[in-house]
Amino acid sequence: MKTLLLILITWMALPAFSQTRKEKEAAKEENVRKALEADRYTIDINYMIPSKGPGRPLTTDYSVTVRNDSLISYLPYAGRAYSIPYGGGKALNFSVPIENYEKKTKKKGETEITVSLRNDEDSYIYRLTVYKNGNASLYVQPTQRQSISFSGEMDLKEN
């Protein structure tokens, strides 16, 4: 009898747990949408995929931050450089004004963002895809280096 009562209570509690999870997912999607609309967000990068060679997880805190008209890039780089300053230059570590910013929402709720910018040693195109759940993929195309890709997740604590 006790077993039957325990099973009945557990069975009745299951919808409450799944609804809570759905509510959390909906709240996360709303926070992602608001951050993208405000053009103020940070993507924490946790995986790097060079053009040649294997991808690898990152153990250090790397990120890309968009703040209205500026982009702050703190990313590792692995790949071939065609023309760089003596000593290696800045690679993908800089903070500069954005020259061109385009944002498109796709059918499945993902947002595709293309950012053009330049610093004193190179020009870059950052193509960022942010999914409804906050996951993101980033493709960086420098002019003087091989392209590189990253993946990560939007930092929703800061927004």
Strand runs (DSSP E) across 15-147, as ranges?
40-50, 56-67, 70-75, 92-97, 100-105, 111-118, 123-130, 135-142
- Give the tens place of pLDDT for each residue, 68-108: 899 999 999 888 888 777 777 788 999 999 999 999 988 88
Per the CB < 8 A criterion, the answer to whether 96 and 114 are in contact is no
For the chain, what is the radius of gyration of the CA atoms?
20
Question: Residue 152: is its pLDDT beyond 60?
Answer: yes
- Give the tens place of pLDDT for each residue, 121-142: 889 999 999 999 999 999 999 9
Q: What is the pTM assigned to this prediction? A: 0.82
Q: Tokens in use for 128?
A: 């960022």
**More confident of the two residues 15 and 150:** 150
Q: 14: pLDDT confidence band, cut at 50, 70 and 90?
A: low
d(C-alpha 146, C-alpha 159), whole Å: 32
